[in-house]
Amino acid sequence: MKSTQPAAVQWLQHNDKSNALKLARGALTALTLAIGMAGGSAAMAGETKAAEQASARKHYEIPSGPLAPALNQLAGATGIMLTYAPELSENRSTQGLSGDYTVKEAFDLLLMGTGLWIERLKDRTYVLRVNEQRSDALEVAPTMVGALAERPGAIQSSREAHPERQDLNSLVRSMPGTYTMHSRSQPGVSVNIRGLSGLGRVNTMIDGVTQTFRNNAGHGSGGPMAFVDPNLLAGVDVQRGSVDGAEGANTLGGTANFRTFDIDDIVKPDHRVGFRSTYRTGNNGYGNTRMFAAGARTQPEDVDGVYGIAAAVSSTQTGEYETSSGQTNEYDTTKQNPRSGLLKLRLQPNDMHRLDLSGVKYRNEFYHNYPWQLDNETYRAKYAYTPYSEWVNLTVNAYQNTTRLEYPPVEDSSYIGRKTRDDAHGFDFTNVSRFNLGEVEANWSNGARYYTDDFVAKTPEKRGANPEGEQATHSVFSTLELNYDIYALTLAGHYDGYKVSGHVPKCSIIGQCLDIGGGDIDITRREHSFNPRVGFAVKPYDWVQLYTSWSRTTRAPRVQEMFFEKVPLEADASDADGVGANPFLRQERSTNYELGVNFSRAGLLSSSDYGQLKINRFISKIDGYITPQSFDIVDDDGEYSAKMNWVNWPEQVRMDGYEVEGRYDVGFFYTNLSWTRATTKAPTTSGIELEDINSQPDRYWTLDVGTRWFDERLVLGARGEYSGSAEESWDWYETKKTPSTGVLWDVYGSLQVQKSLSVFFNVENVANKVYSYNASVDSIMSASLDRGTGRGRTASIGFTFEY
């Protein structure tokens, strides 16, 4: 088929291995010229406020409610010294924060509508003032809150999304204890936390909405998957281990939330309208990427309350890439054409009421064992009620997620024409009360969650290993946090329940289904559990926190696991067989231990630097781990045959390891480190691969090092990644160790040419090293790539315009 791409893009995608180097040289030359231009415009840079130049954007999640604890939390998160009189915060509330901001932007938004503002006196020193009194700083003792203060045992990491620097898999893997199933042809993201992946083991979300899609297949092309466009992402938040609140309901090992652009990401705090556009192109299959976003927001002086709207669209065209050895795989190709869009509204008539509405749509066509046409839609309504009360700070969420999959008839294969639909609906509410018990500060959070997941096979004769059914989960939860002097105690718990309903087809071998009357029966299974968590922390100095926690978590079996069908691969594939079902599956139960230390300090080596270090030890002991296994059975005629069931593993599964996360920032230089060493081996599966991967690599790390020049308008950096050997299923009850990737280096850079215009470049695998993706299905799907499945040296350039 004749290419419809521009000639320049065709050149970039040509097989000549020197193109990447040529493109990198061109990008560096352009940067050199731009640096000269930047030097000549130093006067313009001097007109920019020094605080805005020196501040890096960071993600903040601060709940709505009384102003005082919100100010303390923000001061702790930024590591600054904030001075204010206690009476200034009395009877004042805030709508909270959720997004990526500089220090000034974060305080401006937190104080919006309060009649207060902050003034920067010197590095990391701020004073809180009243609007009508802009003289004389308040003479009170400062409040300094450690920037790494966390709830005891809540192991959290956040990353800003920079799609021009790294892909989505690399972004998730840059957090300790967190990995992904990487596939060259599958754009969906399957998050693995400490060796656990799957619905219920990891609560994977887009804008707080659980993603439930899975497509079981016998060639490692299943899921579970979250489909999200990285060009619309603001960042990713991960919590490892036991998670409190609505997000932790029916969750065994952690959560991952992919945050898309919000109004405040597009419209700057001092603007009423905002616009952002990004274009990117590259060689070796990168193709072209376009993203446009626009928004508008009222200011408090315009009307009573705050109202806003934001919209964004994105499209990408990618092609097949070459490995470092010059190999391609046109069969299981990386060619894709994702298109995405979002729309968000904010309705905030006054300080007490706020409603946020959001919708995100994703559509893509790609080839992964079969041709896929996939549509994903995620909707959410979030209402916050924050009266001037210490006892009532209520948040209510309602959401829906729908994923449609079709195998379009572009070839002649067994399951061409498959159509499935996965519908999920739910709601939750949480109320936070803050009060004092003498000298003890208390935060008490209570709420409930209900969620349903309904899988429908619109073409039953082609559903394969994807049985129909519905899962409903419900949870009541409570978290009490007590803080006294340097001590913090957390008492939390979930009362979780589930119901799984489905149909077991008639069994071909009646003797294997005597307990259910030979099959052809509707079955519903229910269970409940109480899952407590106890955490304790002590902060003997402002710069160090020690913590430990103990918890129990559970996870309900999925419809695909309980009602898995033995489906023959002949022409009569519609004859589903109930022999494969296991309606007696029990929920998984895990006992978890955490032990760690957090360090944070400003002024570590100089008066303007800041450093963080987190060291964590985790142990999880899982009973009833659910895994697919094959069995030899004797039919009614005395003949042997094989069947597969998902079963509760009879032995306890242990996953444990160490996680290290650190960063250092001194303005002109920064570095970020993530390091994990763990044993996270799951039971060995057999036969066809329904779980995709069995474990995380035994060791992996990411190191990001960069410098900032010309008042931080020029950024040049390098990122190194290493992934050790991983274990994957291979043949019948056999496993094999994949080799390590070795150390892979990328280089990147960006330059703010003008206030609203930035250019960037990225060179991936700059040494053109041969390697294979670990924890992937590429060894099955890409057997023709015998010298490494990883992408060879690839360069890209682009620009971002913001107003």
- What residue ranges define each of the domains in the chain, with the CATH number in brackets? 48-144 (3.55.50.30), 155-802 (2.40.170.20)
Please report the pLDDT score of residue 508 as a whole number: 80
- Residues 464, 418: contact at Cβ < 8 Å? yes
Please report the pLDDT score of residue 73 as a whole number: 77
Please report the pLDDT score of residue 462 as a whole number: 81
Alpha helix stretches (DSSP H) within 384-444: none
Nearest to residue 665, comparing CAs of 57, 83, 166, 146? 57
Q: Which residues contact 237 (CB under 8 A, 6 or more apart)?
A: 59, 61, 156, 157, 158, 255, 256, 257, 259
Q: Kind and range of the H or E element at 497?
A: strand 487-504
Per DSSP, 329 falls in state -
SS3 709: strand
SS3 398: strand
**Kind of pairing, strands 339-350 and 353-368?**
antiparallel
Please report the pLDDT score of residue 132 as a whole number: 41
Cα gap 688→646, rounded to integer Å: 13
User: Which regions in the chain score pLDDT beneath 70?
Assistant: 1-57, 65, 79, 83-87, 90-91, 113, 120-125, 130-154, 217-223, 300, 566-575, 635-642, 685-694, 729-734, 777-786
Residues in the chain: 803
Please report the pLDDT score of residue 109 as a whole number: 79
Please report the pLDDT score of residue 15 as a whole number: 38
Cα gap 454→327, rounded to integer Å: 41
Please report the pLDDT score of residue 521 as a whole number: 92
* Residue 246: HSE in the Cβ half-sphere, 13 Å Cα cutoff: 22
- Residues 319, 125: contact at Cβ < 8 Å? no
Please report the pLDDT score of residue 325 as a whole number: 86
Please report the pLDDT score of residue 252 as a whole number: 94
CB burial of residue 7 (10 Å; 0-12, 13-18, 19+):
exposed
Q: Cα angle at 674 between 669 and 676, to 5 degrees?
A: 160
Count CB atoms within 10 A of the CB of residue 629: 17
Given its phi and psi angles, is residue 319 left (phi above 0), alpha (psi -120 to 50 degrees) or beta?
beta
User: Which phi and psi (to 5°) does residue 168 adopt?
Assistant: -65, -40
| pTM to 2 decimal places | 0.82
Cα gap 798→750, rounded to integer Å: 9
Q: Which residues contact 36 (CB under 8 A, 6 or more apart)?
A: none
Rounded to the nearest 10 degrees, the angle between the axes of helix 103-110 and helix 67-78 is: 180
Cα gap 359→398, rounded to integer Å: 12
